[in-house]
Amino acid sequence: MKPIQTLFLVFILILSACRTSPEFSYDIEKTAISDKAMVVSAHPEATRVGVEILEKGGNAIDASIGVQLALAVVYQNAGNIGGGGFMVYRDKDGKVKTLDYREKAPKAATRDMYLDSLGEATDKSRNGHLAVGVPGTVAGLFAAHKNGKLPFKDLIQPAIDLAENGFYLTKKQASSLNSKREDFVKYNTTPPVFVKEGEWKKGDRLVQKALAETLKRIRDNGQAGFYEGKTADLLVAEMQAGGGIITKDDLKSYEAKWREPISFTYKGYEIHSMPPPSSGGIALAQLLGSIEPYPIAEWGFQSPATTHLMIEAERRTYADRATHLGDMDFYKVPITQITNKEYLKNRMADFDPNKASLSKETEAGQVKESEETTHLSVVDGEGNAVSVTTTLNTSYGSKVIVSGGGFVLNNEMDDFSAKPGTPNFFGLVGAEANAIQPEKRMLSSMTPTIVEKDGRLFMVVGTPGGSTIITSVFQTFVNVVDFGMSMSEAVQAKRFHHQWLPNKVFYEANTFPDSVLTALTQKGQIMEERGSIGRVDAILVTEDGKLEGGADTRGDDHAAGL
């Protein structure tokens, strides 16, 4: 094709991809109450898809699949088919299991692939083709679907329609696309649909024809429609064009895995969360086990005493995370040892209520042996519950969109320890347990969680937020159980975060009054204000049996029920 013809074609695609309706605005609900079923997700269109699937007789698994596919279209900076995720599933009879469809390192990956000639870590794990792990989302959707009720084609069709016909951008989405324009140009071999003349605006209609065709191939050919055939050809061609290392063999050999949940108790509540390669379940068990002996309800919500205790628990937990956690298929994770009550009691033995610990002196306990993610919570009319967190890692992942395929690829290779002891994008430090190996799954902070009380469903919760995911779920749960908040109040409450290194307590604006900040500083805590922390989407079963959905005001998240 001649250059002038190519430019004309790109111009036509841009025109067709952008139609504007400035007056358009989504009707977003942050709190929803329902007698029957509930869906909470990061975008109103995705929540709508989930509710419609439930109305057609689908169960929570069906709805979660439809929502994930819709998010791949309408929430491209984190929703995906080019990334991976985790699911916690509790069926109506109370049986809980988890599904791991985390990305994997390509077979050609090597331990030192991101180090320069001096042995220092580079940024090649964060942007561009070499940062991409083998995607697991599509395999995960088909593995989950074995527990569904409706045909897969009925679950994917809404996403196809959204891609083919377009959807309206929110103000946040327009701003997000504009902020990444230079990256889209820099890291792509052909101009993606996300790049247009001028800036995106609220009400612009985004049409994604190439993505629609990719989704149709999945609809018509099942899992092979992504991991084999034309889509696989397009993905591998993209890798070869940009210096990536994923091959057709990597794609075809990918498998999602059902795993036993991390299950533990806190004050009479039974909590089920993700096992490794997610650090979320173990870390949540450590955090709650560490604070359980203390009367935080008496001390008060975000009082100096409560906050100081929670910070110190977070410091110790993240130190353990850095040393002991990795992919269980490659590393023997000491789950039982580091989550039992006696171990946690010993970890908190040096806790001083009047003085902050020093991170440089806080090492992992001894044992013998994003920030761009998205979460959805679903409960159906039969009592099945699903908690799903998926990710591309950072916003729009590697910034690479598969030419001709229209989907964004992850940059999950940055979640490995490129060099043990060197922080990743989120400042998290890893060790040998999370070193790069071929076909290994990288450590994650995703913490999709389901809570029971007296054997009955109580809460479905999770959030995006990179390293802050664990602490956001931790604080949201405690807000309900210890401080008596409603689901919506717990979700909207201001949050803080400590992750061992760097030795700082990050907190959202207006989290603490000056008196509390002063008290914490006097104890030796180093306080630093930052932007929003997490975007929790959760569902609570209230005392009268109703479902309360809480959608985070920090995003375009939307809750809706039947």
Spatial neighbors of 452 by CB under 8 A, at least 6 apart, are 90, 94, 269, 270, 271, 272, 458
Count of CB atoms within 10 A of residue 484's CB? Answer: 11
371 and 78 Cβ atoms separated by less than 8 Å = no
Nearest residue to 276 (alpha-carbon basis) of 100, 413, 412, 436: 100
CA quadruple 303, 309, 313, 319: dihedral sign:
positive
Q: Does residue 449 carry a catalytic annotation?
A: no
Question: CA dist 412 to 185, 234, 518, Å?
Answer: 20, 20, 38
Count of CB atoms within 10 A of residue 544's CB? Answer: 6
Distance CA 317, CA 138 (A): 32
Nearest residue to 466 (alpha-carbon basis) of 409, 411, 539: 411
Beta strand residue intervals within 30-90, DSSP E? 31-34, 38-41, 84-90
Count of CB atoms within 10 A of residue 522's CB? Answer: 12
Spatial neighbors of 471 by CB under 8 A, at least 6 apart, are 287, 314, 495, 496, 497, 498, 499, 533
Count of CB atoms within 10 A of residue 261's CB? Answer: 20
Distance CA 87, CA 100 (A): 7
Distance CA 459, CA 480 (A): 10
Q: Catalytic one among 306, 362, 373, 374?
A: 373
Distance of alpha carbon 46 from the chain centroid: 16
Nearest residue to 215 (alpha-carbon basis) of 314, 105, 69: 69
In which residue are the tokens 């902070």 written? 445
281 and 261 Cβ atoms separated by less than 8 Å = yes
Burial of residue 43, with CB atoms counted within 10 A of its CB: 0-12 exposed, 13-18 middle, 19 or more buried: buried
Nearest residue to 480 (alpha-carbon basis) of 492, 470, 466, 469: 492
Q: Which residues carry out catalysis?
A: 373
